[in-house]
Amino acid sequence: MISFEMPERIKNELQMAEMVARQVMRPNSRKYDVHEHERPVEYINVMWQVLREQNRRRFEKQMQQNGNGDRPQREGPNWSIVRLIAMVEMLSWGDAGMYLCTPDPLLGGAAIEAVATPEQKVRFLKKFGEGEPKWGAMAITEPGAGSDNSAMRTTAVLDEETNEWVINGEKIFITNGKLALEESDGVCVVWATVDPQAGRGGIKSFVVERGTPGVSIAKQEHKLGIRVSDTVSLAFENARVPYDNILGSPEVQEEKTTKGFKGAMKTFDASRPAVAASAVGVARAALELAQEKLADEGVTVDYTKAAHEMSAVERDLIEMEARQKAAWLLTLKSVVEMAHGQSNRLSASMAKARAGETATYVTQKAVELLGPLGYTHEFLAEKWMRDAKINDIYEGTKQINQLIVARSILGYTRRELK
């Protein structure tokens, strides 16, 4: 019999995440929504201690297994990925914006994992495991290159005299860009082209560390939702990074055979399930609040009734619940494929597109069902509605992910189906 229950070990760890969500995130959620960009110190301090202890245990286990702390060869599925995604859902149920402030490499770490050589993974990620938790960010979007990442114009030129890469350009909408570049040992993975004439084949990713000369925060965005999370634009003016900070091979290949850009795209295969999980967490929060408040008024769903026997409100609640659970199952599918080392390009895009759409629908319905109070600060429903929309946009818009799904199913190339 197939079971969709979380393993007991993951359930136990989720209890800690739920405690943080209930006791630390929810009580401070409105405060940090009103005071945009203020550091959620209560949450950061708690997660700092939690992650430091987790990192310490993980590193000690690695030391015992192979004596030097390097990552051992994994046998069987990587269930830690499932645990991580389950925690993302739970923490986003607490507060999606605050979750993004977790002292963890997040997108920057995903980019390094997807593209870096084994030596680079040890160099850039081992320090996160050994010492204090740190922040990470990823800079890919540009003013003239939003969903079409292959159109980016930020350049990286090798200075052969100093053996350094010189980066020039501008990146926008960078989640945690300020946290990553203003905190100790933070990193930002920056995508740039080493050969503009080579198209996608010239696009590479570089690790830019805190304190790199020539890197500055050009703008900090004011946003509709996830207001506690910083989103910035970065300017690169002759920013110099060491030669070895390029992730993967510096070789420029033909666009039709390049592995560099495809390898970088693996970042999204890993990050989109996390975005989907966050969306599902926000949707669950809104659904549970609507169910709770309506139950107080005597409105509950009788699942034994036929649809035509139910009230309009009952049908709305069932539709909200069905969409939320379907999005979660799609997310779990993409995560389990990743845990087994299988390609999850299709399922990750499916999950991300459906979860983003679901979060928008469910939170809007919750506000509607709660009536005038749903539109006020009395409840967090209106905040969740604002927080939810970003999941339909970042890490690839719904439309882009639908294109990826269509291309994958129909066997079309990017040029054949735009």
Catalytic residues: 395
Q: Which residues contact 27 (CB under 8 A, 6 or more apart)?
A: none
Which residues sit opposite 142 in a β-bridge? 145
The CA-CA-CA angle for residues 280, 283, 286, to 5°, reads 155
Residues 91, 60, 52, 113, CA torsion sign: negative
Residue 236, by phi and psi: left (phi above 0), alpha (psi -120 to 50) or beta? beta
* Residue 350: strand, helix, or coil: helix
Q: Determine phi and psi for 166, rounding to 5 degrees.
A: -110, 115
Q: How far apart are CA 330 and CA 85, in angstroms?
A: 12
Q: Which helix (H) or strand (E) holds 340?
A: none
Strands 187-193 and 203-209: antiparallel
For residues 153 and 193, is the Cβ–Cβ distance under 8 A?
Answer: yes
DSSP 117: -
Which residues sit opposite 192 in a β-bridge? 204
